[in-house]
Structure 1
Amino acid sequence: MSAPMQTVSRFLRHPLLPQVEIRRVSSGNALSHARHSHDCHSFGAIRSGRSSYANGSKRIDVSSGDVVVVNPGDGHACNALPEHPWGYDMLYMDSTWLTERCQVPPGAAYCDIPMFSALTSREPRLHQAIVTLGNALESMHRTRLELESHCEVLADILRDTLHPQHIQAVSPRHLEHAREYLAEHWQQDLSLEALCTVAECGATSLINGFRRHYGMTPHAMLIDLRIRQARRRLRQGDAIASVAQDCGFADQAHFQRTFKRLLAATPGHYRSKVAAPP
């Protein structure tokens, strides 16, 4: 019995193209993706093998030549089906940059980012454009003009083949209602649906409206509010375990990791009146 092939995974980036990043995976059958979301547009070109793609309530089997389409905020997962080595290029594209290339018709009301209704595409030009961009990012000998041209061609293909719809932008007043709701209910296990109800908008509009107006997603703002409360409690000398529980964290370890990630200091260090050694 032959040994399984080793997974190869690389993240391809270039300082001249900050608007895109590609994860290039070969023999990725051992990878396991839980359902998650991104704050940008994502497009996955399946280069080999087959996989099961879940997005929202739908599940689709995709194979070599297919492209999966993921809008910002879409809960999704893609995992290999057995039989053949699974390879793909997953493109992450800045939504603001893409929006500038998918303009709404003249005279239309101001809208937010473009949204794609299709979950997959079998368009050969789109698949090839993603792989070609990946090849260019992988090479160290491409000119600025070539790299930028690959991106612009890809954006044109996305617009012309997937025909994005535009969602209405959320008014600052409605966003403020959602922000105030977060500030009042930060200790609760809040749902995105509840915030959308307060803001009178859809999930993607809410997430991107928060990013535009406040510089962070609703979830990031909720964590920030909890950390602020935790800092106040720690300054009072409260026990770390009780602070973690009272401030809405799953457990003390989760609180410690989050606190250190945001403040570059442990809760114990912050709580102490004596500076820790360098």
Structure 2
Amino acid sequence: MPEVIKVIRRATCPGVELVRITDSPRVWGHLNTVFSFGTMTSWQGRALYRRQNLPLGPGHTFTFEPGELFRGAPDDAGFGSFRVIELTTDVLSELCREEDRRAPMHFTDAIRFTPAPLATALDALERALVADSDSLEQQACLVELAHAASSTVLERGSPRSSKRPAPLGPCERLRELLHSSEATSVSLAAFARESAVSQFQLLRAFKRRFGSPPHAYGLHVRVERGRQLLRQGHTVAEAAAAGDFTDQSHFTRHFRRIWGVTPGHYASTR
């Protein structure tokens, strides 16, 4: 069975994206820059997330936050289907402010059996996006989803502490560097020396903390930077340049490996 990946974005519902994956045998993994709600239809396997190895299967919903890397590997049985609805931080923050919830927002658990109110809201928004319903219906479904999420899977952000925050450790500082414009000039040896740790210690600690070695994490950052530009209407060439890829083919190869479609196909979806 051929894998089918369909991406749906509607101008009438900005900041929202639906990805439908059918009969997928692949290992999935990418860096999140949005709030994601994924629902398993028939896909079954395990997710490596927040330093945990978690079972994931039909009836489950996974909820991932911006800045987090995850990896999902199917069981030996192979093919499975699922859907993901993504909301940008701005969209979810604005809707949750109406629910009297303060930023930052956090999901209570990464994976759970889908609460009934959340399942109903996710299904309704999916139907509205697929059918390209009128703007008012799509917006109403989005409001219902935010309300369901607020009451079932989102927790209220903690007030900021008045104490001075603890200094970042080597892994956190390296992660920040990989997100910066200086990422392409990072020297692992120099960074390890400055941090007074060995390169091996740094590599092992970074992978344990973020689920991927620095070079792979940095690649995900660059691909995701390009993907966000594609969502905003930029060309594939502009997205490749923003991600510091040597050319479009280099960007396309890595984008397709992570997302299952080419950047051109992804950009053309509406």
Q: What range is the shorter-chain TM-score in?
A: 0.5 to 0.7
Match of 2:128 in 1: 136
Question: Residue 41 of structure 2: SS of its match in structure 1?
Answer: strand
Report 1 or 2 for greater relative contact order, CA contacts < 8 Å, sequence distance ≥ 6. 2
Q: Distance in 2 between the 1:260 and 1:9 partners?
A: 21
Q: Unpaired segments of 5 or more residues in structure 2?
A: 187-214, 223-236, 248-270
Match of 2:9 in 1: 13
CA displacement 1:128-182 (0-9 Å, x = unmatched): 3223322221223x111111111111110000011413155699x98xx99xxxx
Q: Unpaired segments of 5 or more residues in structure 1?
A: 179-189, 196-202, 204-216, 228-249, 268-278
Q: Please point out which of 149, 152, 155 is paired with 2:140.
A: 149
Q: Distance in 2 between the 1:223 and 1:49 partners?
A: 38
Q: Distance in 1 between the 2:41 and 2:145 partners?
A: 17
Give the TM-score normalised by the residue count of structure 2. Answer: 0.60
Match of 1:261 in 2: 241
The residue type equivalent to 2:178 in the other structure is H
| Preserved CA contact (<8 Å) 1:112 1:169 | no
Match of 1:65 in 2: 59
Moved over 4 A (4+): 167-171, 224-227, 257-260, 263-267
- When the two chains are superposed, the root-mean-square deviation of aligned CA atoms in Å is 4.0
Question: Residue 45 of structure 1: SS of its match in structure 2?
Answer: strand
Question: Residue 7 of structure 2: SS of its match in structure 1?
Answer: strand
Q: Distance in 2 between the 1:263 and 1:54 partners?
A: 25
Question: Sequence identity of aligned pairs in percent?
Answer: 17
Q: How many pairs were matched up?
A: 198
Change (3 A) 1:264 1:40: closer
Deviation of the 1:124 alpha carbon: 2.7
Deviation of the 1:193 alpha carbon: 1.6
Q: Distance in 2 between the 1:259 and 1:19 partners?
A: 18
Give the TM-score normalised by the residue count of structure 1. Answer: 0.59
> Within the alignment, does 1:40 sit opposite 2:25 as a pair?
no
Question: Residue 27 of structure 1: SS of its match in structure 2?
Answer: strand
Match of 1:127 in 2: 119
